[in-house]
Structure 1
Amino acid sequence: MIAASALAVSMTAGSPVSAQTPPERSHLEEVVDAAIKPLMERDKIPGIAVAIVVGGKQFVFNYGLASKENGQKVTDATLFEVGSISKTFTATLAAYGQVRGAFSLSDRAGQRLPALAGSSLENASLLDLATYTAGGLPLQFPDEVTDDAKMLAYYKAWHPAYAPGTHRLYSNPSIGLFGYLAAQAMGKPFDDLMQAELLPLLGLSNTYVRVPQERMADYAWGNSKNNKPIRVSPGPMDAEAYGIKTTAADLIRFVEANMNGSRLDESLQRAIAATQTGYYKIGVMQQGLGWEMYGYPTTLERLLAGNSAKMALEPHQAHKLVPPQPARRDMLFNKTGSTSGFGGYVAYVPARGIGIVILANKNYPIPDRIKAAWQIMTALDGPIKPAPKP
């Protein structure tokens, strides 16, 4: 591992930028270029958009092609699939419903969906589902689960490997069901609540669950492992778990709302605080609603461990935080996201006023995303002293 101080000196152009005052765009562009151009070449990424908020000012930098087939360049209007970064939107929508009294995180799944009566999920709480601690629901549905009827049958027949609240296993079916049940409690379909209510409240006019026809020309083409153009296909709980398409500029607005939501509706401010609350401690990180958090300053090593394949694919003991850890500004919040043809990463530190979005039209290695973001954020915040071991 490269130490943070070495990273700041050897991998960035010029001296560190103060996170408290907006830098000159030209200086920041040098910093971003130094991280992104080698990344694109090494991982053969056609196009990337990077958005940064620092000192209360937003910047967007575009690289390469949104479509290799027609040569269309990445612009501020380019829409990317963000994969599991969508879970932070799902969590925000659900938390908004909770704040407004539609349900409680302690409600049981069987209360919200009577069809689950008698199943192993009947007594799982919505918090269990939201934090992947319902007992070991898998990363994905089995291939044979292709519609709502088969999805419900799967949930009813599923049997846990662990007692609820004891182990975390990252899972689309888990948080997908959380989003679905929250929407049921709020009285409208999930897609409608997201598109017509939450996204306008956040001021995000270029973010979609389903990309409208008039924006399809801005929708980037992803690139598959076989180097073919690809976009995400519909599937069970796709909207709730991995369905958001957005621009880097809109996503950094969402990040800024999470760092400083003082201009937002008061209920939405409380909802964001709920997503940033630590409910479980898993290894080096805290699990919030959607967001995964680390005490700041942290280290690159810890971010890589917390976002590793081992963390995503294997069960881990979950230590419930009682009471839950209230939202804190001196934390680093992050989330990765991938579809077959796209890869993204978001990270921000409210106390330092810095945040970054990296969106690409290729599913490239997650460690490479984190290292690039770390390189840029280190340049924004100066050399970061290693945090004490937890």
Structure 2
Amino acid sequence: MIAKSFYHSVLVILLSFASLNTIAQSVEQRKTDSVFQLVKVQFNAKNADQLYELTGSRLKQDLIIETFRNICNNQLFTLGEIKESSLISFENNKVATYKLTFSTGQILQLLMSLDRNDKLEVFLFQPYKKAEGVKKSLALTSNPLKTIEDKQIDSVARTYIQKANTVGLSIGILKDNKISYYEYGETDRGNGKLPTGSTLFEIGSITKTFTATLLALYINEGKVKLSDPIVKYLPDSVAANPALHGITLEDLSNHTSGLPSLPPDFFAHVTDTLNPYKNYTKRLLYAYLKTCTLNSKPGEKYAYSNMAVGLLGDILERISGKPFEQMVMDNITQPLQMTSTVQHITPLLKPRFVSVYNDGGKPTEAWDFSALAPCGSLKSTVNNLLVYAKANMIKSNTRLSKAFELTHQVTFDKDVKIGLAWHIIKVDGVEYYFHNGGTYGSSSFLAFNPEKNIAIVILSNCGEGVDLVGVGILKRLQ
């Protein structure tokens, strides 16, 4: 099977914004589906050379045609024809996963994505990941099941927490100025302790909205402009790369910079496979940027990038002279009294921090960050994130409120609608400001609509995503 050669390409979806079922059938998905149909035709014809013609330059660099032919003829084509296929997911408006059933009876899944020329950039066959089993008994809950809303939320939450791989789930809802909490499962498998509104979880890419808020604060104070080219704030040796000259600060925040999600050599520097961001330093980031090329012209195409937001945070650090966590504390968490939103877990906070589990239900590690901290390093609680969501919804004359308002202004609206970090999604016709997050061992969801006075926060200590839980609850609330 094609595997190690494409390890780094497949894992670019780490920590990424996951496109929801509510944003179905984007232009990119239709393009990917069209290429997939061509892949099926050439695969079933056992035509390795024609399959190779569908691949892009980056994949061709990884795999010369002779090796590709050998893999196809000796490993893939022996599976027989593709008899049945179905789309499992389309992550990050980029990476499609298809379930394939072959004439030999074997079932695999195929990960595919396209480059800027609509050629295959990721083409990876994997063992098919079957849906997890279910728990033998009902998971613990604090849900009193007294009201219709209680029961509706339970019906959605149970579809998630009763899976065998999931462990704990913390849900916070703000509706019409009333806050409700619903806790499920355990903070550590087998400990019998429900999470609470004060339990700490990794929040992954929701961190990006904090980075965008810092950017907005500095814009409103005249320290930077959205239209500023990033080379204005980079070391001369990095700014000398002409590929970077068209990228603005706005492009970094709304994922239109043309930079990849992660540098191609990212995983070559990983020393702990369970904690991949830990040792990716600014030195490595700048070394890559000195010679990098872009996947698309800045400002023209949405392509989710952890590296871009990490770089944005680094630029803000250079401007302020403070580390990312200090900027967040000084400008956001202290003014809002969000004392449990941090990058680093202190000994005082550690007892409230959950154990984390991968999407297969196995124990894993919480992530640590270096250069790319602004893209996904924060930990928080449902309590704190509801405060954050409410502050985003209420307009006032404070510097922070004005910054939030700026982050909500639409900066890009082609296939994906986005402000500064905040994605704008529709659930049954109602628009929400939204972001989710995911690490190996945690999943998160935050959405709010100021006009309807609704906000929802969902945190899980499992890598199994919670988007469907969030969307399902929103449908019942609105």
TM-score, length of structure 2 as denominator length = 0.63
Partner of 2:413: 281
| 2: CA distance, partners of 1:71 / 1:182 | 43
Report Cα offsets for 1:96-116 as digits up to 9, x if no partner: 121112211111111111342
Correspondence 1:133 to 2:271: no
Correspondence 1:143 to 2:242: no
Correspondence 1:58 to 2:185: no
| 1: CA distance, partners of 2:449 / 2:359 | 33
Contact 1:103 1:182 in 2 (8 A): no
| 2: CA distance, partners of 1:2 / 1:204 | 32
Q: How does 1:202-351 map to 2 (within 5 A)?
A: 202-225=336-359, 227-262=361-396, 266-283=398-415, 285-294=416-425, 298=429, 331-351=431-451
Q: 2:239 aligns with which of 80, 93, 117?
A: 117
Report Cα offsets for 1:335-387 as digits up to 9, x if no partner: 1100000011111111111111111011114xxx3332233222222xxxxxx
Farther off after superposition, 155-164 or 369-378: 369-378
Q: CA deviation at 1:191?
A: 1.8
| 1: CA distance, partners of 2:246 / 2:183 | 47
| 1: CA distance, partners of 2:165 / 2:350 | 24
Q: CA deviation at 1:212?
A: 1.2
Correspondence 1:35 to 2:166: no
Partner of 1:192: 326
Partner of 2:227: 106
Contact 1:49 1:248 in 2 (8 A): yes
| 2: CA distance, partners of 1:140 / 1:123 | 19
Q: CA deviation at 1:70?
A: 4.2
Q: CA deviation at 1:78?
A: 0.8
Contact 2:165 2:360 in 1 (8 A): no
How many pairs were matched up?
A: 324
| 2: CA distance, partners of 1:49 / 1:140 | 33
Q: CA deviation at 1:226?
A: 5.0
Correspondence 1:378 to 2:475: yes
Identity of aligned residues (%): 26
Q: CA deviation at 1:225?
A: 4.1
Report Cα offsets for 1:115-172 as digits up to 9, x if no partner: 4221122441111111111123224662134322112101112111221111121010
Residues 233 and 374 of structure 1, relative CA distance in 2, 3 Å threshold: closer
State the secondary structure of the residue aligned to 2:421. Answer: coil
Farther off after superposition, 206-215 or 120-129: 120-129
State the secondary structure of the residue aligned to 1:170. Answer: coil
Which letter maps to 2:291?
A
Contact 1:98 1:104 in 2 (8 A): yes
TM-score, length of structure 1 as denominator length = 0.77
Contact 2:367 2:377 in 1 (8 A): no
Q: CA deviation at 1:43?
A: 5.9
Residues 295 and 31 of structure 1, relative CA distance in 2, 3 Å threshold: closer
Report Cα offsets for 1:184-211 as digits up to 9, x if no partner: 2223222211123321122212111111
In our comparison, the structure showing a higher alpha carbon Rg is: 2
Report Cα offsets for 1:234-284 as digits up to 9, x if no partner: 23434200111011111111111111143xx6211111011111111131x
| 2: CA distance, partners of 1:239 / 1:79 | 18
Q: Say what the alpha-carbon RMSD is for the aligned residues.
A: 2.4
State the secondary structure of the residue aligned to 2:322. Answer: coil
Residues 140 and 154 of structure 1, relative CA distance in 2, 3 Å threshold: closer
State the secondary structure of the residue aligned to 2:451. Answer: helix
Farther off after superposition, 241-250 or 73-82: 73-82
Q: 2:203 aligns with which of 82, 90, 99?
A: 82
| 2: CA distance, partners of 1:93 / 1:179 | 9
State the secondary structure of the residue aligned to 2:259. Answer: coil
Contact 1:83 1:243 in 2 (8 A): yes
| 2: CA distance, partners of 1:351 / 1:137 | 35
Contact 2:427 2:471 in 1 (8 A): no
Relative contact order higher in (CA < 8 Å, ≥ 6 apart): 1
| 1: CA distance, partners of 2:21 / 2:378 | 34
Which letter maps to 1:66?
T
| 2: CA distance, partners of 1:192 / 1:164 | 30
Q: CA deviation at 1:95?
A: 1.0
Report Cα offsets for 1:316-336 as digits up to 9, x if no partner: xxxxxxxxxxxxxxx311111
State the secondary structure of the residue aligned to 1:373. Answer: helix
Which letter maps to 1:343?
S
Q: CA deviation at 1:69?
A: 5.7
Contact 2:212 2:421 in 1 (8 A): yes
